[in-house]
């Protein structure tokens, strides 16, 4: 084995402590950004393509994105009331890295799922890792073949 330099204990010193400043890794933020890519949208317009999101979770996500400067909320003094959400320049700046992530997913999803299936194939019904494979992740007893669950989720997502 080739000797490697030890990791620098200060390698993350420039990163802010605590939670990351952006929420793109959560379930809904990236999808909301995509929905707003072409221009302002109303709450009900956002709900349609975001199947499965509850009004409460959509409201919380939109508020957090507004707080973080990713979008603006404009309430119009009309009857009936009208509210629109629109990406800010900061929110738009995430479109390019998100596209790179989508491209990576399109190119490598099959490979990732095969690796996951292979890993899960080495786990018995009790959740014990077999064949001398040591892995840091915990497999919860009673969980169906997670590779299948991940594939179904990944394949149900619209490609960009």
Walk along the chain (160 residues) and give the pLDDT tens digit of each residue.
677 888 788 877 777 666 665 666 688 999 999 999 999 999 999 999 999 899 999 999 999 999 999 999 999 999 999 999 999 999 999 999 989 988 998 999 999 999 999 888 887 777 776 654 544 444 443 344 444 444 444 444 444 4
Does residue 87 sit in the same domain as residue 102? Answer: no
75 in helix, strand or coil? strand
Does residue 53 sit in the same domain as residue 106? Answer: no
Domain span at residue 123?
A: 96-156
| Residue 24, domain member (yes or no) | no
Structural domains counted in the chain: 2
DSSP lists the bridge partners of residue 82 as 76
Backbone phi and psi for residue 140, each to the nearest 5 degrees, phi listed first? -80, 135
Q: How far apart are CA 66 and CA 70, in angstroms?
A: 6
Does residue 86 sit in the same domain as residue 105? Answer: no
């Amino acid at each position: 084995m080739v000797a490697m330099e030890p990791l620098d204990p200060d390698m993350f010193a420039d990163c802010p402590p605590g939670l990351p400043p952006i929420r793109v890794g959560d379930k809904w933020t990236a999808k909301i950004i995509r929905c707003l890519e072409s221009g302002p949208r109303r709450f009900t317009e956002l709900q349609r393509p975001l199947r499965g999101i509850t009004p409460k979770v959509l409201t919380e996500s939109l508020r957090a994105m507004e707080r973080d400067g990713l979008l603006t909320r404009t309430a119009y003094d009309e009857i009936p009331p009208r509210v629109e959400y629109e990406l800010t320049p900061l929110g738009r700046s995430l479109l390019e890295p998100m596209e790179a992530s989508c491209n990576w997913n399109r190119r490598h999803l099959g490979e990732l799922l095969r690796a996951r299936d292979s890993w899960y194939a080495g786990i018995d019904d009790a959740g014990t890792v077999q064949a001398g494979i040591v892995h840091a992740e915990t497999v919860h007893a009673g969980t169906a073949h997670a590779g299948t669950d991940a594939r179904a989720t990944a394949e149900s997502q619209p490609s960009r």
